[in-house]
A and B are shown apart, each in its own frame.
Chain A
Amino acid sequence: MTLTHDSTTSQQSRLEQLCPPTPRAGLIDDFAQREIRRAILTAIAIPGYQVPFGSREMPVARGWGSGGLQITLALAQSHDVIKVIDQGDDEGVNAVNLRRLICETTGATETSEPAEATLIQSRHRIPEDELRQDQILILQVPVPEPLRGVERDMRELARMHAEADYSKMWVSLYEDKVRNGVITRTTGYPCLVNGRYVIATTPIPRWDVPRLHQAPFLTLFGAGREKRIYAVPPRTDVEPLTFTDVPFEVESTPGARCHRCRSEDSFLVEIPGPQSQWICSDTDWCRRERLSKEAQI
């Protein structure tokens, strides 16, 4: 009896030591924060390796950014400044809701200016602006496993990563080129990180892939549904898998320029409609471009 009593008390005091009785304001408790931060540290220590983590239920559906959200919530503090974009757009419904949720539950402030942000959570884009080393980019990842399309067996996938056996990935690129004459893969282009692990750069377009290579900032990839976190630490090699005689190319449409800010050197998306019109995918960058051009006039 005494023994049981003693061990219960010591367990309780240990729990209190780990997690103070006053509940932490916010969506995730101290245990969750600790666990996610540990997964992030592991991910940074082994660039490109997919670290399993205990993905929590979030007030958004799995597949709607729950992985990125958990990373942001585990990192964000009241002094942080948060930018959230969806397809490059700060004002998308999903982006607005996630930003409000993060700021209201962590006390952080919100912004649309990349230069002000300490944490940038994104689906589909890296902001056009150059990010700095004191900023963290958090990507919401739907499918973290780059080999999912070429191998279904989980044990075999684990083996392929463990032995850096990526020949099946190369075969899929070969097949793509043979069938279509070009490599058609757009988002999620497979890249070799730090010369070791192949990652899916999903959800960003090919346009943004070269910007991960030797980037000054830390990029964290969170997949809530698949319960994986992986990272590209600052100043790390990120090489897209390409044949030596087939150069890696980013998306481009000859002659296309932004309908609003007239720029040609940003990532453009087509507006559906009778006439072909293009606009910048990064809306905040586009807004500032317009302002600076108007100021010049």
Chain B
Amino acid sequence: MTSHSPMERAPWVLKVENLGKVFGPMDSDVLAETGPEIGTSKSSRTGTVVAAWDVNFEVAAGEALGVIGESGSGKSTVMRAIAGDHEASHGAVWLRTRKGDVVNVAAIPDSARRALRVDELAVVYQDAAEGLDLGVTAGGNVADRLTAAGWRNFAEIRHRAAHLLGRTEVPLERMDDIVRQFSGGMRQRVQLAKALANNPPIVLFDEPTTGLDASVAAGVLDLIRDLLTELGIAAVVVSHDFSVIEMLTTRCIVMHHGRVVEEGLTDQLLEDPLHPYSQRLVAAART
């Protein structure tokens, strides 16, 4: 992958190494019994599900990597393992913190991982209810991250929340409205503001526009693209939708039945997919 990456020399801030997530008993044959060649991620012998295996990639600051695949391909598993929402069974997720320390997210206690989630690593979920407290105002949701990072001055919290919500194009007159009253697109914008609250160097996007209607999705995507360029964030974008991957990322990996089947520059991969599964995905996206 790195051989044709233009960002080859840029130091990574997120590095995923041999990442694997397995549900059920694991033995030496399970891997041979699953994968794209076999056409399943579940071993018929042991019932073990290999949700993801042997996933490797690096992301540098200002770079966005796409992870694409159909439902059940393991892309969300990879994202949740990076975010620490669930524990990886194998491999490492290296993260370079702003202080320059290198931490393996997969090997630190839950409390330390949650501390990283405050200002090093943010996630924007498909379902806003996962990333937001719907019973709290838009400003309050941003305040949650700020107070977690130690902000204790009310005026400063207000100011910062207003700034972020303005930046993610949430009308300021709605800052003090409960998020539950917001439309889907507006919720995603609030989620984005919350994710960016403490300037995290890494942001993960899990299907950020799935479930939004086309025009709203286009607006949110435009916004995400602008923010990524402007803030120099390292991003991982997980989606089943090639148009999202095409718009936001420069590089991507294609996952199928828990394995990476192809990786490369997004535009090249779209022009000339090599793996039959990638070809089908691209063909489906182009119709």
Where the two chains meet, the residues of A that have a C-beta atom closer than 8 Å to any C-beta of B are 162-163, 165, 167-168, 170-171, 174-175, 177-179, 243-246
- Quick one: closest A residue to B147, CB to CB? A170
Complex partner residue of A174 from B111, B114, B148, B157, CB under 8 angstroms: B157
Contact with A along B137-166 (1 / 0, CB 8 A): 101110111011000111111100000000
Please judge, given known A-B contacts A163-B114, A165-B148, A167-B148, whether A178 and B140 are in contact too, CB under 8 Å.
yes
The reply on B267 being an interface residue by CB < 8 A is no
Complex partner residue of B152 from A162, A178, A243, CB under 8 angstroms: A243
The reply on B169 being an interface residue by CB < 8 A is no
Which label, helix, strand, loop or mixed, suits the secondary structure of the A interface? helix
Complex CA distance for A174 and B144, rounded to whole angstroms: 9
- Quick one: closest A residue to B111, CB to CB? A163
- Quick one: closest B residue to A183, CB to CB? B154
A171 touches B140 (CB 8 A): yes
- Quick one: closest A residue to B151, CB to CB? A170
The reply on B262 being an interface residue by CB < 8 A is no
Please judge, given known A-B contacts A163-B114, A178-B139, whether A246 and B148 are in contact too, CB under 8 Å.
no
Chain A positions within 8 Å of B176 at CB level? 178-179
B154 touches A174 (CB 8 A): yes
Chain A positions within 8 Å of B137 at CB level? 175, 178
| B69-120 with Cβ < 8 A to chain A | 111, 114
* 19 chain-A/chain-B pairs, Cβ below 8 angstroms: A163-B114, A165-B114, A168-B133, A168-B144, A170-B144, A170-B147, A170-B152, A171-B136, A171-B141, A171-B147, A175-B137, A178-B139, A178-B140, A178-B158, A179-B176, A244-B152, A244-B154, A245-B153, A246-B154
Chain A positions within 8 Å of B111 at CB level? 162-163
Please judge, given known A-B contacts A163-B114, A165-B114, A246-B154, whether A175 and B147 are in contact too, CB under 8 Å.
no
- Quick one: closest A residue to B161, CB to CB? A174
Number of interface residues of B (CB under 8 A): 21
Chain B positions within 8 Å of A244 at CB level? 152-154
Complex CA distance for A162 and B148, rounded to whole angstroms: 15
Chain A positions within 8 Å of B153 at CB level? 243-245
Please judge, given known A-B contacts A163-B111, A165-B114, whether A174 and B143 are in contact too, CB under 8 Å.
yes
Chain A positions within 8 Å of B143 at CB level? 170-171, 174
Chain A positions within 8 Å of B140 at CB level? 171, 174-175, 178
B154 touches A171 (CB 8 A): no
B144 touches A177 (CB 8 A): no
Please judge, given known A-B contacts A179-B176, A243-B154, whether A171 and B144 are in contact too, CB under 8 Å.
yes
Chain A positions within 8 Å of B158 at CB level? 178
Please judge, given known A-B contacts A171-B133, A178-B139, A179-B176, whether A245 and B155 are in contact too, CB under 8 Å.
yes
Complex CA distance for A75 and B287, rounded to whole angstroms: 79
Complex CA distance for A246 and B152, rounded to whole angstroms: 10
- Quick one: closest B residue to A175, CB to CB? B140
Nearest-CB distance from B84 to chain A (Å)? 14
Please judge, given known A-B contacts A163-B111, A171-B133, A171-B140, whether A177 and B147 are in contact too, CB under 8 Å.
no
Nearest-CB distance from B199 to chain A (Å)? 17
Please judge, given known A-B contacts A163-B114, A179-B176, whether A174 and B147 are in contact too, CB under 8 Å.
yes
- Quick one: closest B residue to A168, CB to CB? B144
Chain A positions within 8 Å of B133 at CB level? 168, 171
A177 touches B148 (CB 8 A): no
Chain A positions within 8 Å of B148 at CB level? 165, 167
Nearest-CB distance from B158 to chain A (Å)? 8
Complex CA distance for A248 and B172, rounded to whole angstroms: 28
Complex CA distance for A178 and B158, rounded to whole angstroms: 9
Nearest-CB distance from A151 to chain B (Å)? 10
